[in-house]
Structures are given as structure tokens and as C-alpha cells.
Amino acid sequence: MSMALQTKQTLFDIDQSHKKTCNPFSVPKRLLLGPGPSNSHPDVLKALSLPPVGHLDPFYIELMAEVQELLRYAWQTNNRLTLPMSGTGSAAMEATIANSVEPNEIVLVAKKGYFGSRLEDMAGRYGANVKTIEKPWGHAFALDEIQAALEMYKPSIFAIVHAETSTGVCQPMDGIGDLCRKFDSLLLVDTVTSLGGVPLFIDKWKIDLAYSCSQKGLSCPPGLGPFTMGPRAEEKLALRKGQVPNWYLDVSLLNKYWGSDRVYHHTAPVNMNFGIREALRLLANEGLEQAWTRHKINAQRLWNGLESLGLELHVSEDLRLPTLTTIRIPADVDGKAFSLHLLNEHGIELGGGLGDLSGKVWRLGLMGYNSTLDNVNLILNLFETELPRFKNNSVAAS
């Protein structure tokens, strides 16, 4: 057989192999009660499946403005530069750093979990002189601790996580914005696990930069990262000595697309914006306060039920996130095996611990569309009936 014929035969075989695998697929039914994503509302899924239009189409440009206004409502802000970054929450996180940090300036990061460490890492990569203060995972910072650190370091930016997804802690925010104004620091806040589910006031709390994600409290699939920048941060951006080092996340460029000029920057994920527009509409129709109350009531039912089963929660009640609960894995339980059992036998996702809490806690999310009494009753029933089988490592995951 000639070399040419052998090559053709090989390619033909490869093509046939690919044809065998190119069949339609189905997605297993899952109830996502981990740290995110949450299940998407059916109306959001319908919006995602609509035919796409061009990213400069007049219809889409009008929808962009609606998305921005709905985000302002969800965040309780009048910030002009409020938009969904084309990327996940981590892209929006990096956008806050990329646009605000200049080389060698001091950035103070308050670390009390995994995502405080990520902020530290990102700020360092953009050349900041990063300083940190730390609390044990499961605790929050007191106002006097923050004040002492601001007095010591006098940072250009102070970064803190409002809703720490790794621990289930909700950081009290009262007074932090005033302190940052006193020390001429921008306040940068992670709201990834609080937007849509926990009381959150960008303007009232004097937050200068914030970011979130589409897939948690908003119950839209992952793919967009809400971002907002206040006037003080805008001024700092305008006075930069050099260009923003990340072209894709440069808000001075993105503003020309999301602002009044509508100048092409990148091909936006049109259908993702259909989805987040629908998710934000659902939130607005429910009402922010009603959504916050729903999350709190369902979380309280969950906490009471778990404690009545003898389980210990990692965070004190006054600091617990209604959107995410960390449950300490009993010493005599195979926590990973139980999680796999819930997934394989019941189609329920339960998250494990990260970093310092790896192997020590389960992370149970009740976010957005998933924050319902039915889901609370379902998961409590499974903890009551199934968990005893996994004590003393007696049962392997099914």
C-alpha cells in the first residue's frame, strides 16, 4: 500500500471515529445545592435559547441599556460604569484590580478565606505593593481592626470580600466606606455570593468598586461578571500614569461600547446577556427586599433543621450567609463519600471545603431560584435518613 493511500486510510479512520462520538447528548438532572452555580430559572433558559442577533444590532443595544439599569437596581447604585463583563466572576474580579491598581502602590487586602487570597494574588500580578490583614476562616473583621490597618498602611485601595464563598461568612459593611474615605482609599468589594440574595447597598456603603457573577444569586448560567465603578474610582482611572495593562478588561475602552458611543470593542456574548437580562427582570419583579427576606427565611429553616439533627455549623449565626452555609463534617463521617452518594443517587450537588476548610466542611448553597422551602425540606430529609449510613466510613459511595 502506498504512503499516500495509507495516509488517506488513516484520516478516513479518524473521521469515522469522530462520527461515532458526534451524537446528541443529554444532561443529567441535577439540583445544584453547592457553592454555585445554582439552577437557572426556566425563563432564563428560554431567554438563552432565543435566536442571537448582532452585538451592534439596535435591539441588542437597547437591551444592553436595560441590563445596566437592572444591575444598578440589584446593586442599589447610580454608578454610570455598571456593566456585565464578558467572562465569569473571576474576570470581573480581575477587572476591578486591572483598572484601579498601578505599579508599586499599596493595596491592602483583608483575608478571611480563599477569595481574599485570590484578590491578593491578582493585585500582586499587577505590580501592587500588597499588604494583608487576616482572620481565621469563619470569622469577620471588626471595624477597629480595619481602621488600625488603614492607619498603618495608608493604602490606595482596600479590598474585602462581602460574602466569602469559601467560609459562608457575611462581612458587616457598616462604617468601612467612611473609613476608606477618611484615609483616601478606594473600597473594593467582592459581592459574588451576595448579589441578589443578601442586603447590599453600593452607594449607601460608599463602595467604589465591586464585582459579582451571573450564576449564584441571579440564577443565570456562568459566563458574565457584573462590574461597577463609582466616581472616585473613575477619577483614579482617568488619572492613571499608564494604560490599563489588560486590554480586554480595560473599562476606559469598554465604556465606549457600553456607554453612549456604542463603539465596537469585542463580540459580546449576546445570548448570555439575554439570560442575565431575564434573571435581573425576575429579581426586580420579585423585589429586592422580598428576595432578601426569602433567602433569610429559608436559610434560617435550614440552620434550625441541621442543628436539630446534631450537626454543627461553622460560622456563628450573626455572621452567616443566607446564600451559603458551611456545615462541619462530623469526625466519624466520610464527608466525600456522602457528597458523592447525594450526587450519584439523588442528583444533588453539595460542595466541599476549600483551602483551610478542605475536608472539614460541606458547603450548602440556597441561592436565587434554588432558595425554596421545598429544597430545604428535601436536603434536611436526606441528611436525616442517609447521613447515618456514612458514619465510621461504613459505606462507600454508590
What is the distance between the alpha carbons of residues 362 and 161, in angstroms, rounded to a whole number?
20
Q: Is the pLDDT of residue 24 over 60?
A: yes
Q: Is the pLDDT of residue 344 over 80?
A: yes
Handedness of CA 49, 55, 58, 60 (dihedral sign): positive
**Which of 88, 347, 75, 375 is CA-nearest to residue 195?**
75
Domain 31-37+287-390 homologous superfamily, CATH:
Aspartate Aminotransferase, domain 1 (3.90.1150.10)
Q: Is the pLDDT of residue 15 over 70?
A: no
Model confidence pLDDT, tens digit, residues 42-55? 999 999 999 999 99
The domain defined by 42-285 folds into: Aspartate Aminotransferase; domain 2 (3.40.640)
Output phi, psi for 122, to 5 deg.
-65, -45
The residue type found at 216 is K
The residue type found at 110 is A
Contact 106, 129 (CB under 8 A): yes
pLDDT for the residue 9: 55
Run of H or E residues at 82: strand 81-86
Q: Is the pLDDT of residue 92 over 80?
A: yes
Domain range list for the chain: 31-37+287-390, 42-285
Model confidence pLDDT, tens digit, residues 232-274? 999 999 999 999 999 999 999 999 888 888 888 899 999 999 9
Higher pLDDT, 3 or 78: 78
| Helices 288-308 and 270-286: angle between axes, nearest 10 degrees | 80
**Which of 48, 101, 61 is CA-nearest to residue 242?**
101
pLDDT for the residue 374: 98
The residue type found at 322 is P
What is the distance between the alpha carbons of residues 89 and 209, in angstroms, rounded to a whole number?
14
What is the distance between the alpha carbons of residues 93 and 185, in angstroms, rounded to a whole number?
18
The residue type found at 40 is S
Q: Is the pLDDT of residue 57 over 60?
A: yes
**Which of 149, 194, 151 is CA-nearest to residue 172?**
194
**Which of 386, 300, 394 is CA-nearest to residue 350?**
386
What's the whole-number mean pLDDT along residues 111-129? Answer: 97
Provide the Cα torsion 95, 96, 97, 102; round to 10°: 100
Judging by DSSP bridges, how do beta strands 324-328 and 361-365 pair with one another?
antiparallel
* The three three-digit cell numbers of residue 186, written as one number: 478606594
Contact 238, 255 (CB under 8 A): no
Residues 6+ apart with CB under 8 A from 339: 350, 351, 352, 362
Contact 109, 134 (CB under 8 A): no
Model confidence pLDDT, tens digit, residues 162-192? 999 999 999 999 999 999 999 999 999 999 9
Q: List residues bridging with 247 in a β-sheet.
A: none
pLDDT for the residue 192: 98
* The three three-digit cell numbers of residue 202, written as one number: 453600593
What is the distance between the alpha carbons of residues 194 and 169, in angstroms, rounded to a whole number?
10
